[in-house]
Structure 1
């Protein structure tokens, strides 16, 4: 199943007939399962760093914005702002080679710019994206760790067939580590906004993207890498929108004994084992991909929990209670469950505004079919296969979750 087939072109948007009710979801605190608006994720969550930031790729052209030099008493770094972000200028040439032409936004770790390669060789892209890591010790160290992973991924994919954004080179400029990548057209968050706001994309497009995502995950697994931040913002597509690449390896790590933290992965895409404080491995990325595929097809966030506690409640609303053996192993289980392993929902008292814990028992699982109804024109067999794939991805127990090889041979992906 390691075969790579270039995707033929396809349209991503559903037909206007299906756009019957595109009223925007209000972002209330108690949003139901499968009904979240993508806008309701707050950006103050830890570990959020999109390679293309919050602003749509390629929209913010030269003009006002981040491209200012900041005066500073220390002459050595008067080109940095107070937080260590580089204050670039449009038209500035980095490393005597890359001319900055546009802003791609800002993340926790870096600023990303689009640049013209003035020394391009034949076969090389004329435009690149450059991630300028913030100038401080922690960020620089994180950047070096990302670099090790990028080199491993690109070295193991010499023919550029594994659907990970192409890492081209690295250099140091004015005390900033800079990472150079191929520049792609837009991310899937923007594709959803443009073509599938609140109604999602065609199932044929979702299938093509799913296959390419699973090829990327297989490559990561072969290289022993966990992405740890898969979400629509971190998937880029080309101008024809038929080729997808996974990007932003700023939170990626090698599989093995990793630090237990309840804030790894952007919250809506965060697997239950992370929230409960269990050891984690490749299944955490499979869970995130499942969340993304649901969102691509429906235009809605599957688990729009404003807190980790809400996320667990929504996970159980879909799949029923957690296996007791999972709960017994979790380092953070006692934050969300009582001694008898009953779930304690943390809610706000409407009068006092204080947090109160409410015992919730007998949570019944939902049939995934009730969340995915299918759209006019979709092949019923493909819809049934999609539901089956989703059921197998969303196992609460990571050991029972569909693995990437099983995903690539699933009828939804193979069409058989």
Structure 2
């Protein structure tokens, strides 16, 4: 069915196989101009963003008569495969449409997987910029905490790990609302199919991922705490330049990881294998920090790091005036993910009970 024709008269090369017969640029992204059609249904209006996966466009869906966001993947087998996995995850989110991105459909156009989702407003980095990085009031932080934790509770109850929770992947539903939606499930996985050893953006990366331990849904809880702190203070909690610097920042705030935690993580890896793309339970990666930076009894054996800040009350370490909020963050920021509360338990924290 033809719903929209768009630009006509453009010439393509029927002989240039390397550029997908002239449809793709050198990066294997689909060449698109304003008002082009996608599958004679979507009218391209503007570009919303770009990434390693491809590009995202603001489009008008002439079949459904509504504005949508259209993610057009690179013409690459690896990215096409990953996009199909993301679609599989998105289809499972329909039961919780309130604070998770709404999937509308997908198609293959000129060898590019295209994923249609609801059109949202700005992400939290852009929203924070509008405050000149002064942060939001505590009442907004409480509201957003409830919304994000409700979404994470649904994801984790469904055994889904988002694995890349950060301000850029959380968007306001509309310019006139404080309602949030979690987006971008390109890195997401299910608990029984974890095969990416190194995930999450560095500023929001959990300790177990940094150390090279096995991980689960609790990495999202760690990321949540760092995001919500940033939205309140306007500052990144762990603004690390590299992995070594990130570990140093963790220790300065939390102290060294307890030896029993290190040994427990190491024992789990030795028993079940390191996280790896082949899901091989016999593979143990001994090049990770978990094996190279700690002794046989779980003590850090690198240069001594400054832990003097750890003797001061936690709310003073993070310059948080509200004690309940400080306690809320402190309960999450622990080395041992087994001791980190779930989204369901955090929703019952006294910090959110007053909302």
- Report the count of equivalent residues: 320
Among 73, 77, 80, the alignment partner of 2:16 is 73
> Which runs of structure 2 are paired with 1:65-144 in the superposition (5 Å)?
73-74=16-17, 76-120=20-64, 126-144=66-84
Match of 1:49 in 2: none
CA apart distance, 1:341: 4.4
Match of 1:404 in 2: 343
SS across alignment from 1:131? strand
What runs of 5+ residues in structure 1 fail to find an aligned partner?
1-67, 346-357, 376-382
- Cα separation, 2, equivalents of 1:287 and 1:77: 46
Match of 1:56 in 2: none
Structure 1 residues 204, 115: closer, same or farther in 2, change over 3 A? same
Match of 2:89 in 1: 149
Match of 1:280 in 2: 215
* Structure in which a larger fraction of residues adopt helix: 2
CA apart distance, 1:150: 0.6
After superposition, the C-alpha distances for 1:30-65 in whole angstroms (9 at most, x for unaligned) are: xxxxxxxxxxxxxxxxxxxxxxxxxxxxxxxxxxxx
Match of 2:257 in 1: 322
TM (normalized to structure 1)? 0.72
Asked if 2 retains the 8 angstrom alpha-carbon contact of 1:260 and 1:274, the reply is no
CA apart distance, 1:256: 2.2
- Cα separation, 2, equivalents of 1:132 and 1:368: 45
Residue 310 of structure 2 corresponds to residue 370 of structure 1: no
CA apart distance, 1:325: 2.9
After superposition, the C-alpha distances for 1:175-223 in whole angstroms (9 at most, x for unaligned) are: 01111011111000000011241x2111111111111100110110122
CA apart distance, 1:368: 2.4
Q: Higher relative contact order by CA 8 Å / sep ≥ 6: 1 or 2?
A: 1
Structure 1 residues 147, 302: closer, same or farther in 2, change over 3 A? same
Aligned-residue Cα RMSD (Å) equals 2.3
Match of 1:32 in 2: none
Between 1:111-120 and 1:228-237, the stretch displaced more is 111-120
CA apart distance, 1:260: 5.6
> Which runs of structure 2 are paired with 1:45-60 in the superposition (5 Å)?
none
Asked if 2 retains the 8 angstrom alpha-carbon contact of 1:260 and 1:279, the reply is no
Between 1:133-142 and 1:80-89, the stretch displaced more is 80-89
Among 208, 213, 229, the alignment partner of 1:294 is 229
Match of 1:175 in 2: 111
Match of 1:304 in 2: 239
CA apart distance, 1:76: 3.6
Asked if 1 retains the 8 angstrom alpha-carbon contact of 2:253 and 2:307, the reply is no
- Cα separation, 2, equivalents of 1:117 and 1:407: 39
- Cα separation, 2, equivalents of 1:294 and 1:133: 33
- Cα separation, 2, equivalents of 1:338 and 1:226: 31
Structure 1 residues 132, 69: closer, same or farther in 2, change over 3 A? farther
Asked if 2 retains the 8 angstrom alpha-carbon contact of 1:201 and 1:296, the reply is yes
Asked if 2 retains the 8 angstrom alpha-carbon contact of 1:69 and 1:79, the reply is no
> Which runs of structure 2 are paired with 1:191-206 in the superposition (5 Å)?
191-197=127-133, 199-206=134-141
- Cα separation, 2, equivalents of 1:413 and 1:70: 58
- Cα separation, 1, equivalents of 2:81 and 2:236: 33
Structure 1 residues 374, 334: closer, same or farther in 2, change over 3 A? closer
